[in-house]
Amino acid sequence: MPLLVIRHAESVENVDKYNGFYQDPRPYSGTAAHAISRTIVGLTPRGFRQAQWLAEVLLQLVGPEPRVYTSTYRRAIDTAAIALPALPDGWPQQTALLDEQHYGDATYMTKRELYNSYPALAEDRRLRKHIWTAPGGGESLAEGVLNRGAEFAALVQAEIQGARTVVAFTHQTAAVALRSLLEIRTLPEILAEEQKGKMPNAAILHYELHDGRFTRTGTTTPPI
């Protein structure tokens, strides 16, 4: 049975982040910035149409009684609600294992402000982004996000062995970590591919589990 990893549909932050979300100097604290990112940022009209497209596509991809999970961020929750509106009570389930990378006090900081505020972290952020740990309670991709991804992958294996399709609505950074784990590839390798072409909003990564190992079987991207 398959695992489908889906990046949330287009959000207002994706479209307008350099005009509204990233200001220099940032007008709010890191805690407030993270709360905005998690609870306020919703979908654009285009994102709504992408989620409607997902609803059509997923009809052909999910089997009976799929196990559907979302991050705890509004943009992922809203995407799932539109894409799979007729799930039984209790589904989808929200899990922090699928959350966006937590950028702590650096959330919505411009690079200039970040480097000036935390000069000791600048080199890792520029050259070794996967090990850079966000200040003020944030996490790194190589530890925090990857560890969460490993926990989710273990959960998926249990669900798939129960002959149910698993669908995960998540974020670009979490999808990077999941790709590294499921495809048994290094984070720098996945990030190099992302630099050439970031996973589009509402894109679906297809995986199948065989003999305890996941195999990437395809990608579906929205025409919108």
| pLDDT digits 0-9 by tens, 42-72 | 999 999 999 999 999 999 999 888 999 999 9
Helix 187-196, helix 172-182: angle, nearest 10: 130
Per-residue pLDDT, 62? 92
Residue 163 confidence (pLDDT): 66
At position 216, the amino acid (one-letter code) is: R
Binning pLDDT at 50, 70 and 90, where does residue 224 land?
confident
Contact call for residues 204 and 3 (beta carbons, < 8 A): no
Q: Which residues pair with 7 in a beta bridge?
A: 170
Best CA proximity match to 8, nearest among 220, 169, 167: 169
Q: Per residue in 141-193, pLDDT tens?
A: 999 999 999 999 999 988 776 668 999 999 999 999 999 999 999 999 999 99
Per-residue confidence (pLDDT) for residue 158, from 0 to 100: 83
DSSP secondary structure code for residue 92 in this structure = S
Percentage with pLDDT > 70 across the chain:
98
181-220 confidence digits (pLDDT tens): 999 999 999 999 999 999 999 999 999 988 889 999 999 9
pTM of the model: 0.95
Residue 211 has what pLDDT?
84
Structure tokens, 13 = 């932050």
Buried b (16+ CB within 10 A) or exposed e, 10-29: bbbbbeeeeeebbeeebeee
